[in-house]
Amino acid sequence: MVGWCGRVGYDSESAGEVVLIDIDHILERNRGWAERQIRADPDLFRLLAKGQQPEMLWIGCSDSRVSPNLIMDLPPGDVFVHRNVANLVVPSDPSLLSVLQFAVEVLGVRRVVVCGHYGCAGVAAFLKGDPGGPAGDWLDNLHPVMRAYRSDLAGLNGDHLAQRLSELSVVDQVRKVAATAIVRDAWDAGADLEIHGLVYRIDNGRLRPLCRRTAGGALVLDSGRRQ
C-alpha cells in the first residue's frame, strides 16, 4: 500500500512541535471563539440561527490546511461547503450532487467555486500508485484527467507533474459541474450562476484563478483562451 503524504498533529503555534489536541482543549477554544465573536458582533449568532443565505458553494479538498472561510477571510454563513479528497466532482456521487442541488435550488447560490491546491496528498498518492481501499477507488477518478490532458502533462515529473495535474483537474471538475443536470436546469431557468476554478498555494496563502464558466458561454481559462 502506498503511504499518504502529510504531517499529523502539526500545530502552527508550536513552531512545528507535534501536539495532540484533546476534546477538552477543543471545547475551551470553542468557548473563547464564541465569546470573541459576540464581543465583535453581538447579533451574529442570533442572525445565523434564523437561517443561511450564502452566495457561494465551495467544492474543495478535505486537506486540513485549506479551510475555505479562513483563507477567503469570510465569516460563518457566507459559504456553503462540500469537501472530499482531491476536490473531485464525480457525477455518480450522491453526496456531492445533494450538496450541489441544495445550494443551487434551495439556497440560490450565485457562484460555485472548485478549488484545488498544490501539495495535495490525494494527487501525490494517485501518481505514486494505487493507495488501495476506498481511497484507491476514489482517486481512480483522476485517470480520465490524465488521459484528457496527456499532451499537457507529457515530459513533467515529480512536483511539476503533481502541480500541473492539480491545476488541470480543477479545470476538469469545473466542466463536470457545468455538465450536471442541476446546473443546466438552473441556467435554462435563467439563474445568474457562475462556476469558477481556483488553485491555492499553501506556501504563501494565496488563491489563483484558473478558469470560469457562465450560462451560455464556453469555459474560459484564466489566460483568456476559450475552450
The three cell numbers of residue 162 are 503533481
Instruction: Tell me whether residue 217 is in a domain.
Output: yes
Q: Are residues 75 and 174 in the same domain?
A: yes
Choose among 173, 178, 53: nearest CA to 120.
173
Q: Kindly state whether residues 203 and 173 are assigned to the same domain.
A: yes
| Average pLDDT over every residue of 110-132 | 95
Q: Same domain for 101 and 205?
A: yes
- 169-200: b (≥16 Cβ within 10 Å) or e: bbbbbbbbbbebebbeebbeeebebbbbbbbb
Give residue-wise pLDDT tens across range 18-41.
Answer: 566 899 999 999 999 999 999 999
Query: Average of pLDDT values for 193-207?
Result: 98
| Mean pLDDT value across residues 182-205 | 97
Q: Is residue 178 part of a domain?
A: yes
Same domain for 133 and 78? yes
**Range(s) of the domain holding residue 27:** 7-51
Residue 134 placed within a domain? yes
C-alpha cell at 167: 491545476
Residue 227: inside a domain: no
Residue 225 confidence (pLDDT): 58
Residue 2 placed within a domain: no
CA distances from 25 to 15, 29, 57, 82, 216 (A): 18, 6, 30, 26, 50
Per-residue pLDDT reduced to its tens digit, 37-68 = 999 999 999 999 999 999 999 999 999 999 99
> Does the pLDDT of residue 11 top 90, yes or no?
no
Question: What pLDDT score does 226 carry?
Answer: 59
Q: What phi and psi values does residue 67 have, to the nearest 5 degrees?
A: -95, 110
Same domain, 44 and 57: no
For 87-110, what is each residue's pLDDT tens digit? 999 999 999 999 999 999 999 999
Domains of the chain: total = 2
Q: In this predicted structure, what is the pLDDT of residue 200?
A: 98
pLDDT exceeds cutoff 90 at 15: no
Distance CA 86, CA 173 (A): 11
Please report whether residue 158 resides in a domain: yes
The whole-chain average pLDDT of the chain stands at 91
Q: Are residues 66 and 82 in the same domain?
A: yes
Say if 42 falls within a structural domain: yes
Length of the chain counted residue by residue: 227
pLDDT at 12 over 50: no
SS (H, E, C) the chain: CCCCCCCCCECHHHCCCECCCCHHHHHHHHHHHHHHHHHHCCCHHHHHHCCCCCCEEEEEECCCCCCHHHHHCCCCCCEEEEEECCCCCCCCCHHHHHHHHHHHHHHCCCEEEEEEECCCHHHHHHHHCCCCHHHHHHHHHHHHHHHHCHHHHCCCCHHHHHHHHHHHHHHHHHHHHHHCHHHHHHHHCCCCCEEEEEEEECCCCEEEEEEEEECCCCCEECCCCEC
Residue 226 maps to a domain: no
Please report the pLDDT score of residue 202 as a whole number. Answer: 97
How do residues 154-184 score in pLDDT, each as one tens digit?
Answer: 999 999 999 999 999 999 999 999 999 999 9
Mention every residue, 6+ apart, whose C-beta is less than 8 A from residue 218: 226, 227
Enumerate the active-site residues: 61, 63, 65, 117, 120
Query: Percent of the chain, pLDDT > 90?
Result: 85
CATH of the domain at 121: 3.40.1050.10
145 and 111 share one domain: yes
Does this model's pTM top 0.85? My answer is: yes
Both 13 and 119 in one domain: the answer is no
> Is the alpha carbon torsion for 223, 225, 226, 227 positive or negative?
negative
Q: How confident is the model at residue 222 (pLDDT cuts 50, 70, 90)?
A: confident
Please identify, among 21, 36, 51, the residue that sits at the C-terminal boundary of a domain: 51
Q: Is the pLDDT of residue 10 over 90?
A: no
- What share of the chain in percent tops pLDDT 70? 89
Above 50 in pLDDT, residue 7?
Answer: no
